Structure 1
Amino acid sequence: MKVSILGCYSATPRTITNPTSQVLEINNQMYLIDCGEGTQVQLRKHKIKFSRINQIFISHLHGDHFFGLIGLISTFSLLNRPNDLHIYGPKGIKDIILLQIKLSKSYTKYNLFFHELESNESELIFEDDKIAVYTIPLKHRVYTNGFLFKEKPGLRRINIDAATEKNIDVCYFNKLKQGSDLKQEDGTVIENETVTFDPLPTQSYAFCSDTVYNEEIIPLIENVDVLYHESTFLEQDIEKCIPTGHSTAIQAATIAKKANVKNLILGHYSTRYSDIDLFKKEADTVFESTFLADDGLVFKF
């Protein structure tokens, strides 16, 4: 599992920082989460192939999380993209994008599908044979969702030495990978566990930005491998959290600890602070396995 941070700062873009956007790569599939201004430039800069992005997840309709979307959609068309593109986001995102496409007469040459969200309960919004994606309802100034990516269990793995010892033909390997026992011609049964290994462990990733401190999300993200949680403010400015709909680093760490997650990535820093190391310093007092996002960083788990 790999997380590429394209941008992780709040509010407006600067020459040295970018608003929220990141790419999650899990089980050889790639997903774009949020699309702040400048996302396509960051994708190019970090050599992430546009053609591998077929699903885009938008948390909410504040500009620093989706103002880069229409530009990316347009560029996909200019590059003669053949693949369908699916966009998951709050109700209203379809009208916003289609109005821009209509008035600029920039109709896409590929199929563009919108999946608008309005439920206040967690729901399954995307699923294939490798992964399932659920919403994480967040509390912000506008309707907002985080996203939980859960890898599905893979096939069992063949123990080549054991299979060779029992003279099992390769034509039966697929059946064994699916967990079946193998009945031989003489009627004896080779139990699956004697010639296979367990599937590789599954992984999970939770994206939670933007939100106030909200313990209601804990059951949804419990035991995830990696949690990205916004930490807009340091504790000295905690009084700004409720009116702006944001969290502090310590609040993010508290959620991580209570949810028993394995790793925490902090992000969405207010640009009022000149040293983001202060966010980790505060979070470490609550949760040790804390990492700082920064533009261009790649996390591998």
Structure 2
Amino acid sequence: MEKFELHILGCGSALPTTRHFATSQVVNMRDKLFMIDCGEGAQMQLRRSRLKFTRLNHIFISHLHGDHCFGLFGLISTFGLLGRTAELCIHSPKGLEELFAPMLGFFCRNLSYKVTFQEFDTKEPSLIYEDRSVTVTTIPLQHRIPCCGFLFSEKPGFHHIIREMIDFYEVPLYEINRIKNGADYVTPEGVVVPNARLTTAPDPVRTYAYCSDTIFREKIIEQVKGVDLLFHEATFAQSELARAKETFHSTAEQAAFIGREAGVKKLVIGHFSARYEDEGLLLREASAVFPSTILAKEGLCIQV
């Protein structure tokens, strides 16, 4: 199967600790990198991951709280120092370009590449990126400021050629791409050879949903139903339910409820409050509701 990986760069919340970096992730889709949020220290973690900076062309910012975007300016500057020439596109709720323009104008006035900002609406799901292999759709969340998660959906790949059948029917090389795309083959004598005789089905498409800072929100369930991997914030344990509501965050138990009701294959929880020295408590609470739950941690790579 084609590469589809999630790399956790940081999984802490707003208050810095020695245990966790602020929120940031990278999706590696067929060797194209997509960063989700860019908290402080993201570029250092990106180096540790050994992912190639040059393959990162799109960054998705869920909301304009510092622990999700304070690392962005440093990353932009570093790309300039490295002599980057490819355009970098930053997708975010309204307001990020206005905030960054003065800093870019002062510190990065001679950048060797173009930085573009694309704003998205946070009230309704919308398609904000598409290429030949993936689509990215927003997931409206409910936080103290406008906030969205992101749904990465792989596009169907090619059919798999059955080499023996291709040889048997003496299919010319120039027909192979058409057949991979699902076309039948017509022999020189006019005989139609069905595609199903020449190929096997493409690999199943895979999906990853990222649900950043949000109060418990059952509306999420329908949009993330059946995804292969769900990241959902789990800032607090259930004993801090009142605090979670007050700050528009979720508990581990609530995150697990979303995963269970949506029928996801695997749930990863993160965005841990600094009050927890050991996130095992959060894992136990989530696993009691949805056993297929794992803890995010820096350096973790999950195959989707």
TM-score by length of 1: 0.97
Among 285, 288, 291, the alignment partner of 1:288 is 291
Take 2:222 and 2:51, find their aligned partners in 1: how far apart are those partners? 33
Q: Which residue does the alignment assign to 1:68?
A: 71
| Aligned match of 2:216 | 213
Q: Contact (CA 8 Å) 1:74, 1:106: kept in 2 or not?
A: no
On the 8 A contact 1:37/1:64 being kept in 2, the answer is: yes
User: Which amino acid counterpart does residue 21 of structure 1 have in structure 2?
Assistant: S
Q: Given that residues 226 and 262 in structure 2 are in contact (C-alpha distance below 8 angstroms), is that contact kept between their aligned partners in structure 1?
A: yes
Percent sequence identity is: 44
Q: Which residue of 2 aligns with 1:147?
A: 150
User: What residue is the counterpart of 2:49 in the other structure?
Assistant: 46
RMSD over aligned Cα, in angstroms?
A: 1.1
| Among 123, 126, 131, the residue aligned to 1:123 | 126
Give deviations 1:232-268, integer Å, cap 9, x for gaps: 0001111111110100001000001111111100000
* 1:139 match: secondary structure: coil
Point out where structure 1 has 5 or more consecutive residues left out of the alignment.
Answer: none
Tell me by how many angstroms 1:94 deviates: 0.4
Which SS does the other structure have where 2:288 is aligned?
A: coil
Q: Check if 1:31 corresponds to 2:21.
A: no
**Counterparts of 1:13 and 1:5, CA distance in 2:** 16
Output the CA distance in 1 between the equivalents of 2:110 and 2:255. Answer: 41
Aligned residue in 1 for 2:136: 133
Contact 1:13–1:37 under 8 Å retained in 2: no
State the shift of 1:105 in Å.
Answer: 5.0
Which residue is 1:176 aligned to?
179
Deviation by residue 1:156-187 (Cα, 9 ceiling, x = unmatched): 11110121122222221111011111111212
Q: Secondary structure at the match of 2:219?
A: helix
| Aligned-partner residue type, residue 265 of structure 2 | K
Q: Give the drift of 1:28.
A: 2.5
The 2-side partners of 1:284 and 1:105 are apart by 46
User: In the alignment, which of 254, 272, 275 is matched to residue 275 of structure 2?
Assistant: 272
CA distance in 2, matches of 1:205, 1:280: 20
1:12 matched to which residue of 2? 15
State yes or no: 1:85 paired with 2:88.
yes
Q: TM-score, normalization: structure 2?
A: 0.96
Determine the structure 1 residue equivalent to 2:160.
Answer: 157
Contact 1:27/1:151 (8 A) holds in 2: no
Secondary structure class of the residue paired with 2:188: coil
Letter paired with 1:116: E
After superposition, what is the alpha-carbon deviation per residue over 1:86-132, rounded to whole angstroms, capped at 9, x for unaligned?
00001110011111112335442201110012340000000011100
Residue type at the aligned position of 2:7: S
Secondary structure in structure 2 of the residue aligned to 1:285: helix
User: 1:200-279 alignment to 2 at 5 Å?
Assistant: 200-279=203-282
Q: Secondary structure at the match of 1:215?
A: coil
* Alpha-carbon separation, structure 2, partners of 1:53 and 1:213: 32
CA drift of 1:14 comes to: 2.5
Contact 1:2 1:299 in 2 (8 A): yes
Aligned-partner residue type, residue 195 of structure 1: L
Q: Distance in 2 between matches of 1:181 and 1:41?
A: 50
Q: Secondary structure at the match of 1:161?
A: helix
AA aligned opposite 1:14: T
Q: Which runs of 4+ in 1 moved over 4 A?
A: none
